[in-house]
Amino acid sequence: MSSGKEIGLTVRKEENFSDWYGQLVLKSGLADYGSTKGALILRPYGYSIWESIREIFDKYLKDTGHENGFLPVMIPEALLKKEEEHFKGFNSEVFWVTRAGTNNLSESLALRPTSETIAYWAFARWISSYRDLPLKINFWNSALRAEIKATKPLIRNSEFLWQEGHTVHESSEDAQKEVNLILGLYKKLIEEYLAIPVRQGLKSNQEKFVGAVSTASLESLMGDGRALQMATSHHLGQNFSKPFEIKYLGRDNTEQYAWQTSWGTSWRLIGAVAMIHGDNKGLILPPKIAPIQVIIIPIHKKADEGLVKEHTKYVLMDLEKANIRARIDERDEYTAGWKFNDWELRGVPLRINVGPKDIEKSKLEISRRDTREKITIGRNELVQTICSLLNQIQNDLYTKAKEFLSSNTTPAFDFETFKKIISEKGGFITARWCGRDFCETQIKEQTGADIRIIPEDDDSIMENIECVFCRQKPSVRVLFARAY
């Protein structure tokens, strides 16, 4: 018996990456398109990955003294305009509420593109003394931005799930420590749980967050050689505390403007997991965030049904006792072959087939989703083997992605080479840059590549190496890429 539905991917990753990714997101059940341009619905399978990510990062935040809160999605126009540069940066992509019922509103209300303005309007009331600092609040919500460019599920949507953290400190140094702390937590989340290696550094002046003093960013490389900004952490200095009048009475009894940070990451992390680890059979989920780590498939004829089904329950129980997220696929209306394809598409790390022969011989057949390797083990080795395989897969996915990142990071010492790499190979280009907006803009216009980060582990300014574009000195080393 078969469902008749075409469930597999009909486009190959290496042939048309964009279509492959679109099919992957939809057919694996991660998400579905919404009913307006750029809108996305997160289906339960995708949402449960978001729940994993949220649970991990929320614990990090709480362990480091952050708390959660809730802010309204509608921000009055006057508030959004208060920090000029910030407003200019978001103005073109803000959704405006102008009517309630049949009444026109006297002031238009913006849907939050981000919550700095409304949060800091409130913080100003909550803070009066150094005793109220540091204030460290995070919001798990969604942000809304009318995307003018092409939209892409989970990567660029008119509304997206994210978290945005906002903190207030007594000094610039404290704010800087917070920026670094948070970037480190993002890195841990992304590398250890999502198995995605990142490059870390500062944004250029043109690419930093609108209204920030500086933006630290984590960048990864997707399967098609384009970069993706994974998470950012901004030092806001006193750029917002001044217009929003976030003042506090200092320990020295003088009134001072506070120092602030904001930082965020979004459901694009799920998109990155799909793009980096996925293959032509579907998703490949890192075990640590996979909603289902092991799928158990009963394989039987009518005569063996009772025996096999009972045995799958024992297998499940053993796995659950070891805190492994396992499930039996009990859908009698589908064939085993259909189920194999379905779970491969959904990226479940391990599959266990249970048939009458296996039971008779006290054996089990395990299939790895990532390598599609099959292993036969003794029934009594089950838990130990599964645990070690899950670890192995987690590590292998990271190693593979790390190798991809390394082999797609290429140095360019002159602009001809730069252009050649961008058009033929893509990926990250390490190159020298003089620090001027002019060269950055020219490179972007001529190649589509922009400065992703100025690595913090840079070997400092080198007097003797020239900017890849203008050939002037001195220069810093930066990472360029075409990006999503």
92 contributes a contact to a second copy by CB under 8 A: yes
102 contributes a contact to a second copy by CB under 8 A: yes
- Residue 118 or residue 478: which is nearer to a second copy going by CB? 118
76 contributes a contact to a second copy by CB under 8 A: yes
Q: Which of 333, 457, 459, 463 binds a second copy (CB under 8 A)?
A: 333
CB of 148 to a second copy, least distance (A): 8
CB of 451 to a second copy, least distance (A): 26
Contact string 440-469 vs a second copy (x = CB under 8 A) = ------------------------------
CB atoms < 10 A from the CB of 40, how many?
24
Q: Are 135 and 123 in contact (CB under 8 A)?
A: yes
57 contributes a contact to a second copy by CB under 8 A: no
34 contributes a contact to a second copy by CB under 8 A: yes
Q: Which region among 98-106, 173-181, 223-231, 413-421 touches a second copy (by CB under 8 A)?
A: 98-106
Q: Which of 20, 87, 121, 240 binds a second copy (CB under 8 A)?
A: 121
Q: Are 109 and 232 in contact (CB under 8 A)?
A: no
109 contributes a contact to a second copy by CB under 8 A: yes
* C-alpha closest to that of 392 among 415, 373, 417: 373
239 contributes a contact to a second copy by CB under 8 A: no
44 contributes a contact to a second copy by CB under 8 A: yes
How many residues make contact with a second copy (CB under 8 A)?
58
- Residue 332 or residue 424: which is nearer to a second copy going by CB? 332
158 contributes a contact to a second copy by CB under 8 A: yes
CB of 298 to a second copy, least distance (A): 17
Hey, is 131 helix, strand or coil?
helix
36 contributes a contact to a second copy by CB under 8 A: yes
Q: Are 221 and 481 in contact (CB under 8 A)?
A: yes
**β partners of residue 365:** 353, 376
Distance separating alpha carbons of residues 227 and 237, to the nearest angstrom? 28
Residues 6+ apart with CB under 8 A from 35: none
> β-pairing, 199-202 with 259-266?
unpaired
Q: What is the DSSP string of 354-393?
A: E-HHHHHHTEEEEEETTT--EEEEEGGGHHHHHHHHHHHH
133 contributes a contact to a second copy by CB under 8 A: no
Distance separating alpha carbons of residues 185 and 65, to the nearest angstrom? 13
CB atoms < 10 A from the CB of 482, how many?
20
Backbone angles phi, psi at 57, to 5 degrees: -70, -35
Q: Are 220 and 272 in contact (CB under 8 A)?
A: yes
Which residues sit at the interface with a second copy, rule CB under 8 A? 3, 32, 34-36, 39-44, 46-48, 50-51, 67-76, 79, 91-102, 108-109, 111, 118, 121-122, 125-126, 131, 137, 142, 144, 146, 148, 158-159, 161, 331, 333
